[in-house]
Amino acid sequence: MRRRRFLRAVGAVLAAPALPAAAQAFLPRRDLAALVASVTGGATPSREGIALEVPALAENGNSVAFRVRVESPMTESDHVRAIHVLSERNPRERVALFHLGPASGRAEVTTRIRLAVGQRIAVVAALSGGRFRLAEAAVEVTAAACIDEGT
């Protein structure tokens, strides 16, 4: 009896570290279109004049090169106000929100993002006239970024 209780206790201890891994495998795929609509307020974005540069294959999900570029004169009357970066399968769907304006001169932002698993990424640019532009890209992640390990 005592041995059985002991084995059960050991089993519980061994099983505990496996839980975050299970949580990691269960990262539901969000509806990117719905996420985009939540940003645009339902307006249909144009897919012209915007480029999203991410690698098709990333070795390390903890640091994935990211660049977004929007064609715009960036004047007072016609500029990019904001760029939303949205994730399909990260634990948090909003990766970043960049605010730009005429003082920016050029609508281009470069950074490094985290991807918990291979997924699609969407960028939505909000233009000064109330219009939107959208670009999407898929990234495969070989060494899946850990959501339960640092950096």
* Residue 22 lies near another protein (rule: CB under 8 A): no
Count CB neighbours of 105 within 10 A. 13
Shortest distance in whole angstroms from residue 12 CB to another protein: 13
* Min dist. Cβ of residue 1 to another protein (A): 29
* Tokens coding 16: 């505990």
Q: Per rule CB under 8 A, is residue 151 in the interface with another protein?
A: yes
Structure tokens at 52: 């999203």
Least separation in angstroms between residue 98's CB and another protein is: 5
Q: Alpha carbon 52 to chain centroid distance?
A: 12
Q: Which of 47, 111, 131, 143 binds another protein (CB under 8 A)?
A: 111
C-alpha to C-alpha distance for 34 and 41, rounded to whole angstroms? 10
* Residue closer to another protein, measured from CB, 38 or 104: 104
Instruction: Give the Cα separation of 150 and 62 in Å (integer).
Output: 9
- Nearer of residues 2 and 112 to another protein, judged by Cβ: 112
Identity at 22, one-letter amino acid code: A
Look-up of token digits 């640091």: 63
Of 105, 130, 131, 138, the residue at the interface with another protein (CB under 8 A) is 105
